[in-house]
Amino acid sequence: MTGTARAIGSRLLELAIVFVGVTFIIYAMVFSLPGDPIAALGGDRPLPDNVVAQIRAQYHLDDPLWLQYLRYLGNLFTGDLGTTFQGASVAARMEARWPVTITLALTAWAIEVVVGVLLGLVAGLRKGSMLDRTVLVGTILATSIPVFVVGSAAQLIFGLRLGWFPIAGTGDGWPTSYILPAIVIALFGLAATARLTRGSVIDTMQSDFVRTLVAKGLRQRDIVGVHVLRNSVAPVLTFLAIDLGFLLGGTVVIEAIFNLPGIGQMLFEGIRTHEGPTVVGVSTALILIFLVTSVVVDLINSALDPRIRA
């Protein structure tokens, strides 16, 4: 148990170092974007010079990078994530938007897990069959079409023509508002999950212990349900966990197409308007999610597979 504690401790230290490094890099990147974000705030209609000067002063934009960053970090430790150039609190905005993104990501992830693993399992067990080939071709197809094409097409077909799902917004709540966009994003991870599971299942089915189990006369259902699935799932689980991180951060396009006010949108707008606090706040949160999921994956993997345990 002390080994585990030490492992977690060192991961946490890594986490802290990555956190400071990454926030600084992102802050510096936003800082170095060309153009004056405040002058551009008014779009076509330039703001009066004194208004620009005042807002710049208010957000300390004329200070050197290191001072701005230190101030940001200092505020961060007091729980203040800063404000947008319109004066809205970044923390409050994130709080309002996380539920949308998390709901979307988890819905997509659940579809990915259930359908992906199931397809992979069936394809793996019936290697070479018609079904296996269909899954193979289907997954290649799914991963080769850009997400915005699938998204817009799904919107036009299932939203507009058939009217099964709302076209935009979260007004109908979960699940109605989320299913269509979730399926669209799930398609990509689903393809990978299915193929990973398939390969893993085939490997496991060919291993000695399965042969032994068959020889011992265990029922096929128990062999697959308990032994094969558990042994095949480790690599898939690693992928799924990392993919959950991607889903939480990488849904910008889908959020835009389906008008879901989530975290991806906020990040995109932040970059477009050069808003340091927004970009750093959101991306830091995303990085933390990645780091935490990777720690969790390690722990789950070691729980599932005694051989990994130290």
Partner 1 sequence: MQRSRLALVGAIAASALAITACSGGGGDTDAAASENAISYGTTDPQLLIPGRQSVAFDFNMAVWSPLTFLNNDGSLDYVAAESVETDDATTYTITLRDGWTFHDGTPVTAQSYVDSWNAVAYGPNAMENSGQLANIVGYADLNPAEGEPTTTEMSGLTVVDDTTFTVELSGPDGQFPLQVSQAMTAFYPMPETAMDDLDAYNVHPIGNGPFEIVDDYVENETIVVTAYEDFAGDEPTIDQISFVPYTDEATAYTDVLAGNLDVNGVPANRLTQAEGDFGDRLYSFEAPGISFLGLPLWDERYQDVRVRQAISMAIDRETIIDVVYGGTYEPATAWTPTIEPGTPEGICGEYCEYDPEAAAALLEEAGGFEGTMEIYFPGGGGLDPLYEAIANQLRQNLGIEATIDPSADWAEFLATRTAGDIDSPYFSRWGALYPSQQATLRVFFIQGGGCDNCIPFYSDEVAAAMATADADPSGDGTAYADVQELIQAEFPAVPLFNETYSYVTSERIAELVTSPVGNPTLREIVLAD
Nearer Cβ to partner 1 (12/57): 57
**Measured from the CB of residue 240, what is the shortest distance to partner 1 in angstroms?**
9
**Measured from the CB of residue 91, what is the shortest distance to partner 1 in angstroms?**
13
**Measured from the CB of residue 139, what is the shortest distance to partner 1 in angstroms?**
22
| Residue type, position 52, single letter | V
CB contact at 8 A, 138 and 211 = no
Give Cα 215 distance to the centre of its chain: 43
CB contact at 8 A, 117 and 236 = yes
89 phi and psi, to 5 degrees?
-70, 130
Give Cα 29 distance to the centre of its chain: 22
CB contact at 8 A, 204 and 232 = yes
CB-side neighbour CA atoms (13 Å) of 229: 14
Q: Whose CA is closest to 292, among 233, 249, 257, 235?
A: 249
CB-side neighbour CA atoms (13 Å) of 243: 25
Nearer Cβ to partner 1 (38/187): 38
Nearer Cβ to partner 1 (39/131): 39
Nearer Cβ to partner 1 (132/249): 249
Tokens representing 63 are: 């200070």
**Measured from the CB of residue 143, what is the shortest distance to partner 1 in angstroms?**
23
CB-side neighbour CA atoms (13 Å) of 241: 19
Nearer Cβ to partner 1 (45/216): 45
Nearer Cβ to partner 1 (131/152): 152
**Measured from the CB of residue 96, what is the shortest distance to partner 1 in angstroms?**
6
**Measured from the CB of residue 130, what is the shortest distance to partner 1 in angstroms?**
30
User: Residue 125 and residue 137: Cα distance in Å, rounded?
Assistant: 17
**Measured from the CB of residue 2, what is the shortest distance to partner 1 in angstroms?**
22
**Measured from the CB of residue 276, what is the shortest distance to partner 1 in angstroms?**
13
Q: Whose CA is closest to 197, among 233, 224, 228, 226?
A: 233
Give Cα 263 distance to the centre of its chain: 10
Nearer Cβ to partner 1 (132/253): 253
- Residue 16 neighbours by CB under 8 Å, 6+ apart: none
Nearer Cβ to partner 1 (133/272): 272
User: Residue 154 and residue 186: Cα distance in Å, rounded?
Assistant: 13
